[in-house]
A and B are shown apart, each in its own frame.
Chain A
Amino acid sequence: MSAYIIRRMLYAIPILIGINLITFILFFVVNSPDDMALMQLGSKHTTELQIEDWKRERGYHLPLLYNTEQSGLGAVTETIFYQKSAKLFVFDFGSSDSGRDIGYDISQRMWPSLALAIPTLLVGLLVTITLALTIAFFRGTYIDYWAVIICVALISISSLFYIIGGQFLIGKLLKIVPISGFDTGLHALKFMILPVLIGIVGGIGSNTRWYRTIFLEEINKDYVRTARSKGLSEQVVLFKHVLRNALIPILTGVVVVLPLLFMGSLLTENFFGIPGLGSYTIDAINRQDFAIVRAMVFLGSVLYIIGLVLTDISYTLVDPRIRLS
């Protein structure tokens, strides 16, 4: 097992290098260091000299990929690419273009994102599994038919509408919760209600439909028929057999997204003013702070790979027939 994990981790390294190269090329073709300097310094009364100073201080005065002035190893290491990318691998994100330490910011902003994402995921799972099980129970009836249609309709609504509508209805018209904002500790509770609710409602359509399919697949299997033919009640069949077995694909599906919960939700966080990593990323995109965007790309990719490994592991845990090789 541990040998497998180590192998997977090693396999991740070339992928991460590839990601780094892609993002690096994308970002440095987009914005030359001169542009970055100009943007960070502002354009009112800015001189060439100041731009040079800025670039030197941030290490952007080096050549991009290959330093012709250096010999040997220096030709590779004395470049922006090496200086800015190598450190990412030890999770040293350096400082943003505006001068703040990125690692510190990420460690701070991770918590609001998690505070939003975890309840959304857990409560959402509970609600959608309950709904899906109910629908599966009524399979083939008009309830099933309309439930699926409603699910499809819910999927067809853009997430923007859920957020705008929810904020308008519950925050503005009903005045039940603060419209936006965040606070530390337990005070955060009242701010979390609405975004979590919207997150759950937004996910109901697709998840319920998906889980329903999983349940139906399970119901049609032979062992369920056997159980039923033994005279077990539908309740026992559903809860004891179908639910338990269907949970395997559902939970392994959840494991993939677990690490990515750190990344936060771009839209919700921005609308509700929650200082998580999602709004951090959007801010960085809008301000074209590429140091942050690059760090987030790297982090997101690492988390994604971790998610894949976790999924594999969880498969072996729930199903001993699968061997990792």
Chain B
Amino acid sequence: MSMQPTFLITDLLFFGLTLGLISFVFVVRKRPHLSRPWSQVLKSTTGSVSLMILLFYYAIALIDSVHFHPRVAQATESQYQYSSEVHSLLDVLMTPMRSRMEKTFSAPLATHSFAKEMMQNESGQMQRDYPRLNYAGAHLTQPEDEKVADIISISLIASARALSYWALIWLSILWLYSRRQQRSLTLIFKQILKAQTAYPLRAIAFTSALLMLLTVISMQLGQHYHLFGTDKVGQDVFYQAVKSVRTGILIGVLTTLITLPLAILLGALAGFFRGWLDDLIQYIYTTLNSIPHVLLIAAAVLLLQVYMSGHADDFDSLTERADLRLLFLCLILGITSWTGLCRLLRAETFKLREMEYIQAAEAFGVSKFKILMRHVMPNFMHIVIISVVLDFSGLVLAEAVLSYINIGVDPSMNSWGNMINQARLEMARDPVVWWSLSAAFIFMFTLVLFANLFADVVRDALDPRIVRGER
């Protein structure tokens, strides 16, 4: 065994949450009244395409959450020594990109450094020129002439591979499907191509092809080049951007772990029992809501730093500390964001309580707890889901802003906010170093855009009161 698995706290929570989501899917599938709005989501092209892309991001985050200590190479045979560093499965998959450090900046797909340096040329004279990069394009002898052809050929081969994988997977799925449906494969093909299927299979197939192409090409090119260039210390920007996916997803997802219990419990209690309990809960959330959120987060993050420096020995590595800070950030973001949902749920419970069937249940002497669990909570779940989906993108964006004020995730952690924070200084360079910023922009924009689109579709599907214009 060449590794020792390890679990960070956020990993465990993330896995737990994933299991929860999967079981939620199973529960929903079995109940037609619950699954109806969701199948409506999936039937919309925007909905299913966004969901696919979100799932793709989610998968990256999942792979990046499988952590382990790699073995130290020099250890004696009798006993294995494990490094205190923590790597993830994603690191292994992206190994050449993680470990190949250039000296400093280089442009995307460049073979030469971004800055001139004094070098000795063949005749032994000193001369200022752009030095070759250590790794990118190292297999080329005449990079100026060969680079473009090399990149094209790598991409073409990669595309061919990607498309064949893709075709293989789709064919086998469709074949199984046709066997089950007892319909001919060609008929199914025709239907898909003409977009006559119940679910937008054509769009899904197209999106999956695109994702497959992008993944394989970038992985292949990443073996030989720096796809998005390198940063100040020569680290691959593409690698950083991909590693940041986990941070973004986790902030968006784990925060709900804090928000939901608080909001659901307190909202339902306040709306159901009223009286002094209602007053108290209202007081709590009005108070919390009145404090400017940024300031509250700043204070809390400073507090955490104090705690961590006071208990420095409890943390084995920087990764663990950064992880705890991430968790804490989720916690504090959750504390500042549950109030809105809580208010909505309180109002909804208020309304539900007046409903005849609940009045009836009360009259029959059903216990209040049971009424809450059986009749109230399931009936406001759509509000919870809509709010969770809507909040997700806002949380991802908030991370960037917080990192800018230095109260976001740990500076040692890969995150888009940290990338932007670092890269904005580079915009003053001449010529401009634009790739770090662009990479962060592209990755973040894609996630947030599709999260927003998905949220719209979900809201339209789950909230029957929504206005949908005159389509």
* Chain A contact residues, CB within 8 Å of chain B: 14-15, 18-19, 22-23, 26-27, 29-31, 139-140, 144, 149, 152-153, 155-161, 164, 168, 213, 216-217, 220, 263, 266-267, 281-282, 285-286, 288, 293, 296-297, 300-301, 304-305
Chain A residue nearest to B304 (CB atoms) is A30
The residues of A that contact B400 with a CB separation of less than 8 Å are 158, 160
List 8 A-B residue pairs with CB atoms under 8 Å apart, sorted by A's residue number. A14-B283, A26-B303, A31-B306, A155-B393, A160-B400, A285-B405, A297-B292, A301-B292
Q: Are the C-beta atoms of B291 and A300 separated by less than 8 Å?
A: yes
Chain B residues whose CB sits within 8 angstroms of the CB of A297 once the complex forms: 291-292, 295-296
Q: Which of B119-146 contact A (CB under 8 A)?
A: none
Known: A140-B470, A216-B469. Is A160-B401 also a contact (CB below 8 A)?
A: yes
Tell whether, in the assembled complex, residue A158 and residue B469 are in contact, meaning their CB atoms are under 8 Å apart: no
Interface residues of B (CB under 8 A from A): 283, 286-292, 294-296, 298-300, 302-303, 306, 393, 397, 400-401, 404-407, 420, 424, 427, 432, 437, 441, 444-445, 448-449, 451-453, 456, 467, 469-471
CB <8 Å contact, B471 and A140: yes
Considering only CB atoms, which chain A residue lies closest to B305 in the complex?
A30
Complex contact A158–B299 (CB within 8 A): no
The A/B interface has a contact count, at CB < 8 Å, of 118
When the two chains form their complex, are residues A15 and B287 in contact, meaning their CB atoms are under 8 A apart? yes
Q: Which of B291, B451, B452, B471 contacts A23 (CB 8 A)?
A: B291
3 closest A-B pairs by CB: A300-B292, A156-B448, A156-B449
Residue of A nearest to B446 (CB): A156
User: Is there contact, CB below 8 Å, between A139 and B469?
Assistant: yes
Q: What residues on B are CB-neighbors of A216 within 8 Å?
A: 467, 469
A293:B298 contact, CB within 8 angstroms: yes
Cβ of B299 and Cβ of A23 under 8 Å apart? yes
Q: Are A29's CB and B303's CB within 8 A?
A: yes
Name the A residues within 8 Å of B456 (CB-CB): 152
Query: Most chain-A Cβ atoms within 10 A of its Cβ — which of B286, B288, B292, B303?
Result: B292
Q: Are A157 and B445 in contact (CB under 8 A)?
A: yes
The interface residues of chain A lying within 8 Å CB-to-CB of B449 are: 152-153, 156
Give the residue name and chain of the A residue nearest to B397 (CB).
A158
Q: Which residues of chain B have C-beta atoms less than 8 A from A304's C-beta?
A: 289-290, 292
CB neighbours (8 Å) of A168 from chain B are 427, 432
A217 to B468, CA, bound (A): 9
Q: B291 touching A159 by the CB < 8 A rule?
A: no
Decide yes or no: A296 and B295 within 8 Å by CB, A14-B283, A156-B393, A217-B467 being known contacts.
yes
Do A164 and B427 touch (CB < 8 A)?
Answer: yes
Flag if B469 contacts A296 (CB, 8 Å): no
Query: Other than the known A19-B287, A161-B437, what 12 A-B pairs have Cβ atoms closer than 8 Å?
Result: A29-B306, A30-B303, A157-B445, A158-B420, A158-B441, A266-B405, A285-B298, A285-B407, A286-B405, A286-B406, A293-B295, A301-B291
CA distance A217 to B56 in the complex (A): 35
Q: How far is the CA of A183 from the CA of B253 in the complex (A)?
A: 44
Whether A293 and B299, one on each chain, are in contact in the complex, defined by CB atoms closer than 8 angstroms, is: yes
What separation, in Å, do the CA atoms of A206 and B234 have in the docked complex?
A: 38
Taking a contact as CB atoms under 8 Å apart, the answer to whether B290 and A282 are in contact is no
Which single residue of chain A is at the shortest CB-CB distance from B406?
A286
Instruction: Return the contact of B299 from the options A27, A149, A156 (Cβ within 8 A).
Output: A27
Nearest A residue (CB) for B294: A266
Contact A305 B427 (CB under 8 A): no
When chains A and B are docked, how far (Å) is the Cα of A14 from the Cα of B298?
Answer: 24
A38 CB to nearest B CB, Å: 14
Partner of B453, one of A27, A152, A161: A152
- Find chain B residues with CB under 8 A from A27 CB: 299
Q: Which of A15, A152, A282, A288 contacts B286 (CB 8 A)?
A: A15
A300 CA to B469 CA in the complex, in Å? 38
A305 to B449, CA, bound (A): 33
A304 and B292 alpha carbons, distance in the complex (Å): 9
State the CA gap A313–B420 with chains docked (Å). Answer: 42
With A155-B452, A263-B292, A300-B292 known as contacts, the answer to whether A288 contacts B441 (CB < 8 A) is no
Q: How distant is B81 from chain A, measured CB to nearest CB, in Å?
A: 39
Q: Is the CB of A22 within 8 A of B298?
A: no
Please, how many angstroms separate the alpha-carbon atoms of A216 and B470 in the complex? 9
User: Max chain A CB contacts within 10 Å: which of B294, B299, B467?
Assistant: B299
A282 to B292 alpha-carbon distance, docked (Å): 13
Question: Smallest CB–CB gap between B40 and chain A, Å?
Answer: 18
Tell me, in angstroms, the Cα distance from A184 to B182 when the chains sit together.
79
Once the chains bind, are A144 and B469 in contact (CB under 8 Å)?
yes
Across the interface, B467 reaches (CB within 8 A) one of A155, A213, A266, A305, namely: A213
Minimum CB–CB distance from B7 to chain A (whole Å) comes to: 30
- A residues less than 8 Å from B401 (CB atoms): 158-160, 267
A29, B400: Cα distance in complex, Å: 27
Residues A18 and B467 in contact, CB atoms below 8 Å apart: no
Q: Which of B286, B288, B406, B470 has the most CB of A within 10 A?
A: B286
**B433 to A: closest C-beta gap in Å:** 12
Q: Knowing A26-B303, A293-B295 are in contact, say whether A220-B290 is a contact too (CB < 8 A).
A: no
List A contacts of B406 (CB < 8 A).
286
How far does the Cβ of B427 sit from chain A's closest Cβ, in whole Å?
Answer: 6
**Beyond A140-B471, A164-B437, A296-B295, is A26–B300 a contact (Cβ under 8 Å)?**
yes
Q: Contacts A27-B299, A30-B306, A216-B467; is A22 near B287 (CB within 8 Å)?
A: yes
User: Measured between C-beta atoms, what is the minimum distance from B394 to chain A in Å?
Assistant: 9
Chain B residues with CB under 8 Å of A157's CB are: 441, 445, 448
User: Inside 8 A of B295's CB, which chain A residues have their CB?
Assistant: 23, 281, 285, 293, 296-297, 300
Residues in chain B near residue A29, CB distance under 8 A: 303, 306
> Could you tell me the distance between the alpha carbons of A216 and B469 in the complex, rounded to whole angstroms?
6
Q: Which residues of A contact B288 (CB under 8 A)?
A: 22
Q: In the assembled complex, how far is the CB of residue B393 from the closest CB belonging to chain A, in whole angstroms?
A: 7
CB-based contact A15/B290 at 8 Å: yes
In the complex, chain B residues whose CB is within 8 Å of the CB of A149: 453
Contacts of A139 in B (CB 8 A): 469-470
Quick check: A152 and B452 within 8 Å, CB to CB? yes
Q: Which partner residue on chain A sits nearest B404 by CB separation? A: A160
**Chain B residues, Cβ within 8 Å of A23:** 291, 295, 299
> Of the candidates A14, A220, A288, which one forms a contact with B302 in the assembled complex, judged by CB atoms under 8 Å apart?
A288
Are A161 and B441 closer than 8 Å at their CB atoms?
yes
Shortest Cβ distance from residue A301 to the other chain B in the assembled complex, whole angstroms: 4
Q: How far is the CB of A308 from chain B (nearest CB, A)?
A: 9
A117 to B445, CA, bound (A): 27
Q: Give the distance to chain B from A18, nearest Cβ to Cβ, in Å.
A: 4
CA distance A157 to B397 in the complex (A): 8
CB distance from B439 to the nearest CB of A (A): 13
A213 CA to B463 CA, complexed, in Å: 14
Q: A30-B302, A158-B400 are in contact. Are A296 and B291 (CB under 8 A)?
A: no
Output the least CB separation between A197 and chain B (Å): 19
Measured CB to CB, the closest approach of chain A to B307, in angstroms, equals 9
Give the docked Cα–Cα distance between A92 and B120 (Å): 68
Once the chains are docked, how many angstroms separate the CA of A300 from the CA of B457?
A: 35
Contacting residues, chain B, for A300 (C-beta < 8 A): 290-292, 295
